[in-house]
């Protein structure tokens, strides 16, 4: 099964010049989705972690399935003003703008080891922000796993310079 066949490119979305990868066809095919989670679970086996941190919003889908598959606790990193309790905020840049993420202050036990999960690794800004949030609550971001990495945007190099080992199931130039 070629998982890239389930991730069509949508030109000029959400802004002109951006080549967006749509995960909807992959999620709509149970066999393709299960295969993607099996690949992520195989990568996750090499790490010693206590929690899975899913990054809003599409990262939630993969993080939820992986947490259930691996029987690990799930923590959500959300867009601003979505969490009801005291939280920490971290701003970051995207290839087409800027944004921020938040994590609840009590969501991870001190010293816990978190595996970060998102759908696409592009510039790395989202995962770096999530890693910083994990640190702010006293936990450790040990690695990240994404479904797809867009290599030409250099996200892996940026993550490694922040001490984050990153893996992807699929890569595109």
User: Which of 173, 125, 129, 154 is CA-nearest to residue 4?
Assistant: 173
Q: Which of 95, 113, 151, 158 is catalytic?
A: 95
Can you tell me which residue has the tokens 């310079």?
161
Two tokens at 41? 């679970």
**Is 58 annotated as catalytic?**
yes
**Is 149 annotated as catalytic?**
no
d(CA 162, CA 95): 18
pLDDT tens column, 41-100: 999 999 999 999 999 999 999 999 999 999 999 999 999 999 999 999 999 877 667 889
User: Which of 94, 89, 27 is CA-nearest to residue 61?
Assistant: 27
Write the DSSP assignment of 40-85 as a string of letters.
HHHHHTTS--SEEEEETTHHHHHHHHHHHHHT-EEEEEBSTT--SS
Instruction: Name, in order, each residue with C-beta under 8 angstroms of 98's C-beta and a sequence gap of 6 or more.
Output: 91, 92
Q: What is the pTM of this model?
A: 0.95
pLDDT tens column, 100-145: 999 999 999 999 999 999 999 999 999 999 999 999 999 999 999 9
Please name each of the domains of the chain with its CATH number.
Answer: 48-172 (3.40.50.2020)
Q: CB–CB of 127/162 below 8 Å?
A: no
Q: Which of 58, 89, 113, 158 is catalytic?
A: 58
- Pure H helices in the chain: 24-28, 30-44, 58-70, 125-136, 155-161
Paired strand residues for 170: 148
């Amino acid at each position: 099964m070629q998982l890239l066949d389930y991730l069509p490119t949508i030109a000029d979305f959400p802004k002109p010049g951006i080549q967006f990868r749509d995960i909807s066809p992959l999620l709509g095919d149970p066999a393709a989705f299960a295969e993607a989670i099996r690949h992520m679970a195989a990568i996750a086996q090499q790490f010693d972690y206590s929690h899975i941190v899913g990054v809003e919003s599409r990262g939630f889908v993969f993080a939820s399935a992986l947490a259930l598959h691996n029987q690990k606790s799930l923590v959500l990193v959300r867009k601003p003003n979505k969490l009801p309790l005291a939280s920490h905020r971290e701003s970051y840049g995207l290839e087409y703008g800027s944004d921020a993420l938040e994590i609840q202050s009590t969501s991870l036990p001190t010293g816990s080891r978190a595996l970060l999960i998102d759908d696409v690794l592009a510039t790395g800004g989202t995962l770096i922000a999530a890693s910083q949030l994990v640190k702010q609550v006293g936990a450790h971001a040990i690695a990240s796993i994404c479904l797809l990495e867009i290599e030409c945007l250099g996200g892996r190099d940026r993550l490694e310079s922040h001490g984050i080992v990153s893996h992807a199931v699929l890569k595109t130039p």
